């Protein structure tokens, strides 16, 4: 177990028990006497939250409980460790992997500066599930902060920013310890953290802290980031030698070998089933090669001349055995070491900048100077440049010029006074879209620093979105503050555009991960918060536990409630002036009576937050017809995209389509799979057939037996026969009444899938089988299979039976015992199952035709078989309780990435609205 950390001084921590959820909540209050230092040990978990005074730190009772917990975890084995709540973090596990998640769970992070940017970073890290997040800020909440920080309300004005943030951020994830630090930060305190992030710090102080982090053993990942109006920067230093374990997070690429030449160098050709994804210089290993067995030694070999279906192996195979058949070639992913320079050196020798826009290749060097000049401006005058002040803009430009001239041969030829003017005007403002975008980027950089997964920023990143400014000139008086929560935004865009935003009529389709972020952003920006404004939100889905790790507007007590209703309420709490209506309707042809022509014509802009292409295409077509701007976006794993569709200016979403995915033949999926996609397709089909479609068919029969049977008789085809066979099998031979029956069912399924079917396949087609032309039957891409021998000592085998038995029990409504996830007890129950010996049959026909669309064989007389099946089904029904029904289980897709990357699309919102809503 990892050592527990102390809460920070100046904060008292109390426990509140939520009886409905059996979780303890953290309630944070300031000490009554600011001179009193209150320290606590805080450990928060989903079902565990202990608060012990500092006097009891490391007490014997606490250590014993830790030892018990650790022993329990060890007993489950690495693959079944309880340290990851898989229901909550299923999406992240799919993207990051278990080892990366464990590293995250052991990481303590400091976020200094709790304006809008700091709040976004903290939110993302807490949702990601790091061990602890310490919030540091010595400043007080101002009305100005409400333009970018979703945590603060007007009632928080005058409170310390860190203290005002703790409780609301803690609600996002009870398993993460959230602390507040309100006193002056010293460099020695940084040793408690694996990564530190500063969002509001001078270069002088940043250099001091960064030197300490860079030289610390082990190095502490240091990130300095800030957003100034429509400009932002990130600096990363992860130490003198930082090892990237996995550069891109992708699975190693593979290929199925068709031939290998005896040459120097050797030419390796692969089957044209799928394009190879290898690149020159990649290392690969060979396996399952027949003939040229010298390559099966597991030694990584370098390749070159990589092509779509071939590559050259940098090895002399002249004296190797002749290639006969088979073989898999797999990419070996190599770690990469980066040598970061400390900020002190990087400021004068920044190296190459990361480009986000290739039309602005000259911007990063200029912004590198601009942010240094701004720091000098603030240190000299004690304030930021005033929005609209030409004098302040000129002074900042003068400082940039002086810094540039001091660089000698490395100076910039053009310092672009117009760009620097925009930079000066918005320098004080932290805009929500910029904070959201950089909060996502920096949150992901912290994940990289703590886990070593994905290539980090190296070292500076600068971004600007000056194209989001109004196209028409804005008078300096229009930038003046109005003593409103939108003053920061007004200082950049002007009050006229702010009025346009407030009166906008917006339609957001979907309130999942993207939808929650969009709602937060538009609420903070004041969109639809005016007397004429209105936002309509629709989503027909309900909240599930797995949503909570990325859909941050929801809490555990919202599980089962409508997403749109909860999201709308949460967004309104962010900005009480938000005019929002929540609906639970799908958007499609069937709801055009709800979303009619009048509705579409009234809209200012549409924002898609959908998870399927058909709905996207429908909304896109409606926007195209009614000439409405559309913000389209989507995520997949660690990837995301966004598209702004503006009438008469840009291409619409449906104007281009992805090519259809190549479908594997049915015989390949069922009998001759040779890649992971085939296996996943088969597993998805089996899951839906056994746990969703068959229980649904059973319920359809039990609800109205006579009508169901009549429909099957009238159909009289193979499909009707198959349906009846599945229903009868489920209610007769494979009917489960106890959980032990479910274990038996799952164990026999294992034997059927992974042993008996394979035995039958290799009986029908032995390893030396030949086709009608005399060619080997088992030639690429077919791979000769081997049956599995079940072992209850193999956790992967045991997990299959455990998962299968739980799912089967749910479909039959059978209670699931508490011991089901205990490997020892589960193994004992599985070993009781009697597995009949399998004997292959001579007359079994296995489909090998790739053009076949069904794996079932036709019956001589389907109608006769159907009549017999109906009779048996009626007899079986007599043994069922009249109210008996099954519970179909839907397959849950896992494809969304954690929320820390969603935000890179949000900075386009002001541009989208301002482009379509010209100023009067």
Active site positions, annotated:
667
Does 349 sit behind a cis peptide bond, omega within 30 degrees of 0 on the bond before it?
no
Cβ-contact 557, 551 below 8 angstroms:
no
CA distance 461 to 354: 5
Sheet containing strand 108-112, edge to edge, reads 177-181, 132-136, 108-112, 195-198, 221-228, 231-237, 460-464
Residue with the two structure tokens 């088979």: 326
Cβ-contact 131, 156 below 8 angstroms:
no
C-beta atoms surrounding 42 within 10 Å: 22
Residues 6+ apart with CB under 8 A from 224: 197, 198, 201, 206, 210, 233, 234, 235, 343
229: left (phi over 0), alpha (psi -120 to 50) or beta: left
CA distance 627 to 151: 36
Residue with the two structure tokens 């100023």: 919
C-beta atoms surrounding 215 within 10 Å: 12
Cβ-contact 425, 385 below 8 angstroms:
yes
What's the number of CA atoms in the CB half-sphere (13 Å) around residue 851? 0
Structure letter (DSSP) for residue 262: S
Structure letter (DSSP) for residue 247: S
Residue with the two structure tokens 């990481």: 107
Tokens of 279: 């690149």
Q: What are phi and psi of 229, to 5 degrees?
A: 60, -125
Using alpha carbons only, give the angle 575, 578, 230 rounded to the nearest 5 degrees. 65
Cβ-contact 77, 822 below 8 angstroms:
no
> Distance between alpha carbon 828 and the CA centroid of its chain, in Å?
37
Q: What are phi and psi of 301, to 5 degrees?
A: -125, 140
Closest CA to 28 of 170, 152, 193: 170
Tokens of 183: 């006193």
Q: What are phi and psi of 399, to 5 degrees?
A: -65, -40
CA dihedral over 141, 142, 146, 148, signed as positive or negative: negative
Residues 6+ apart with CB under 8 A from 417: 397
């Amino acid at each position: 177990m990892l050592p527990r950390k102390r809460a920070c001084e100046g904060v008292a921590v109390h426990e509140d028990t939520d009886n409905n959820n059996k979780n303890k909540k953290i309630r944070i209050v300031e000490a009554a006497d600011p001179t009193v230092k209150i320290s606590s040990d805080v450990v928060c978990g989903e079902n565990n939250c202990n608060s012990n005074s500092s006097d009891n730190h490391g007490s014997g009772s606490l250590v014993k409980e830790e030892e018990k917990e650790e022993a329990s975890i060890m007993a489950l084995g690495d693959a079944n460790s309880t340290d990851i709540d898989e229901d909550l973090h299923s999406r992240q596990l799919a993207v990051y992997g278990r080892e990366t998640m464990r590293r995250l769970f052991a990481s303590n992070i400091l976020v200094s500066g709790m304006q809008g940017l700091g709040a976004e970073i903290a939110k993302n890290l807490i949702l990601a599930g790091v061990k602890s997040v310490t919030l540091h800020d010595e400043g007080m909440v101002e009305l100005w902060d409400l333009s970018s920080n979703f945590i603060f309300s007007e009632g928080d004005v005058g409170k310390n920013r860190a203290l005002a943030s703790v409780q609301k951020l803690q609600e996002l994830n009870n398993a993460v310890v959230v602390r507040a630090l309100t006193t002056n930060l010293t460099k020695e305190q940084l040793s408690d953290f694996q990564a530190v992030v500063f969002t509001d710090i001078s270069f002088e102080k940043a250099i001091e802290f960064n030197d300490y982090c860079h030289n610390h053993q082990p190095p502490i990942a240091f990130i300095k980031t800030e957003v100034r109006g429509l400009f932002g920067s990130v600096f990363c230093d992860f130490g003198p030698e930082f090892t990237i374990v996995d550069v891109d997070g992708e699975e190693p690429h593979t290929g199925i070998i068709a031939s290998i030449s005896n040459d120097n160098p050797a030419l390796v050709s692969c089957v044209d089933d799928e394009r190879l994804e290898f690149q020159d210089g990649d290392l690969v290993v060979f396996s399952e090669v027949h003939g040229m067995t010298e390559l099966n030694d597991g030694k990584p070999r370098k390749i070159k001349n990589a092509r779509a279906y071939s590559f050259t192996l940098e090895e002399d195979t002249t004296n190797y055995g002749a290639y006969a058949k088979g073989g898999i070639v797999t990419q070996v992913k190599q770690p990469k070491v980066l040598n970061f320079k400390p900020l002190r050196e990087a400021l004068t020798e920044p190296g190459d900048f990361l480009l986000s826009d290739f039309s602005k290749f000259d911007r990063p060097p200029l912004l590198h100077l601009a942010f240094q000049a701004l720091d000098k401006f603030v240190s000299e005058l004690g304030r930021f440049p005033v929005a609209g002040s030409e004098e302040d803009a000129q002074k900042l430009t003068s400082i940039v010029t002086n810094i540039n001239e001091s660089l000698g041969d490395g100076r910039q030829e053009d310092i672009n006074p117009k760009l620097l003017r925009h930079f000066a005007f918005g320098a004080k403002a932290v805009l929500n879209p910029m904070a959201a975008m950089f909060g996502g980027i920096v949150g992901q950089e912290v994940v990289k620093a703590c886990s070593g997964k994905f290539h980090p920023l190296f070292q500076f990143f600068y971004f600007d979105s000056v194209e989001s400014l109004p196209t028409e000139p804005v008078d300096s008086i229009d930038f003046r503050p109005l003593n409103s929560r939108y003053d920061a935004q007004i200082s950049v865009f002007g009050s006229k555009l702010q009025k346009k935003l407030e009166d906008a009529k917006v339609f957001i389709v979907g309130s999942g991960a993207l939808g929650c972020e969009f709602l937060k952003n538009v609420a903070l920006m004041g969109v639809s918060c005016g007397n004429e404004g209105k936002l309509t939100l629709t989503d027909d889905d309900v909240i599930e536990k797995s949503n909570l790790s990325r859909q941050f507007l929801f809490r555990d007590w919202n599980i089962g409630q409508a997403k749109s209703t909860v999201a709308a309420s949460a967004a309104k709490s962010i900005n009480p002036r938000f005019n929002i209506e929540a609906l639970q309707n799908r958007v499609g042809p069937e709801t055009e009576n709800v979303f009619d022509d009048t509705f579409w014509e009234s809209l200012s802009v549409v924002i898609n937050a959908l998870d399927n292409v058909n709905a996207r295409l429908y909304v896109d077509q409606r926007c195209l017809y009614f000439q409405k701007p559309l913000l389209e976006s989507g995520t997949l794993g660690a990837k995301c995209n966004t598209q702004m569709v503006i009438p008469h200016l840009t291409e619409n979403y449906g104007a281009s389509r992805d090519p259809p995915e190549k479908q594997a033949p049915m015989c390949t999926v069922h009998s001759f799979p040779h890649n992971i996609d085939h296996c996943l397709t088969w597993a998805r089909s089996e899951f839906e057939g056994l746990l969703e479609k068959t229980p649904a068919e059973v319920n359809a029969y039990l609800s109205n037996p006579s009508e169901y049977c009549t429909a099957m008789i009238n159909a009289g085809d193979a499909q009707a026969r198959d349906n009846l066979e599945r229903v009868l099998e489920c209610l007769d031979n494979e009917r489960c009444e106890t959980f032990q029956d479910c274990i038996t069912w799952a164990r026999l399924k294992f034997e059927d899938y992974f042993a008996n079917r394979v035995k039958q396949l290799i009986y029908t087609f032995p390893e030396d089988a030949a086709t009608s032309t005399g060619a080997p039957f088992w030639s690429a891409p077919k791979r000769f299979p081997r049956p599995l021998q079940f072992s209850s000592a193999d956790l992967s085998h045991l997990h299959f039976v455990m998962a299968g038995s739980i799912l089967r029990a749910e479909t039959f409504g059978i209670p699931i015992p508490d011991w089901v996830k205990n490997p020892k007890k589960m193994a004992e129950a599985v070993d009781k199952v009697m597995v009949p010996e399998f004997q292959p049959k001579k007359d079994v026909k296995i489909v090998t035709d790739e053009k076949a669309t069904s794996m079932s064989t036709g019956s001589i007389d389907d109608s006769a078989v159907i009549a017999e099946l109906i009779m048996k089904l009626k007899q079986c029904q007599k043994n069922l309780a009249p109210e008996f029904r099954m519970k179909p289980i839907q397959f849950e897709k896992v494809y969304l990435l954690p929320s820390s990357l969603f935000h890179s699309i949000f900075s386009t919102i002001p541009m989208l609205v301002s482009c379509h809503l010209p100023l009067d």
